[in-house]
Amino acid sequence: MKFLTLILAILVLALLVPAHAQQQTKVYRIGTLSGASVSSLEPRLEGFRQGLRKLGYVDGRNIVIEYRSADGSVDRLPDLALELTRLKVDCIVTAGPRPTRAARQATTTIPIVMTTYGGDPVADGLIASLARPGGNITGLTNVSTELADKRLEFLKETISKLSRVAIFWDGRGFFHRSQRN
C-alpha cells in the first residue's frame, strides 16, 4: 500500500512539473510614489518587500518595484506619477496626500493604494467614502474628525484640570485642517 501511494505521488508530481514549466508567470510592476527620499523610507520599503515575500512575490523574480521619489521637491510629483503610468505599472502605492493627488491626476485606471495618508481623503475629494472609496483609489488614512474629538476627550480624562490645549504643526506637513477645528 505504501509503495502504491509512493508511485501515485511520483506520478502526480511528474504530471505537474511539465504543466508548471509551460505556464508563463506574470511579472507584476508596482510603482511607489513619495515626496520624501527613498533612503528615509527604506525601513518601510523593506517591510513592504518582506510582506510581499511572505505572499510569494520577490522583487526581480515575479514583481518589479519602480521607486519614484521627489526627494522633498513635491513639485516633481506630477511628473513622477506620469512616469509611472508610462511604465504601465499594475498599481501605484503612494505615501502621503500629495503623492496620492499626483497619482490621481496622472491616472483614473491604474489602482492607487494610499498609505500614510495624513489628510481626509473624503473631504479632499479623492474618494467617495471610507467604506466605499469608488474610483481607482483605496488604502489607509490615519485621520478622522471623529478620532480628533476622542483624542481630546482622552486628554481631558487623563489631565482632569485641563482647561486649554494648544496644537503646534508644520503647515507644510500632513496635519489636516479638519483636525484643527
Q: Could you identify the residue written with the cell 489631565?
A: 159
To the nearest 5 percent, what fractions of the chain are helix, strand and coil? 45, 15, 40
What domains are there in the chain, each with its CATH number?
A: 28-143 (3.40.50.2300), 146-179 (no CATH)
Q: Indicate the residue type of 110.
A: I
Provide CB contacts within 8 A for 142, sequence distance 6+.
Answer: 116, 117, 118
pTM: 0.69
Mean pLDDT, the chain, rounded, equals 79
Each residue's pLDDT tens digit, 124-156: 888 888 788 889 998 877 666 666 777 788 888
**How far apart are alpha carbons 88 and 91 in whole angstroms?**
9
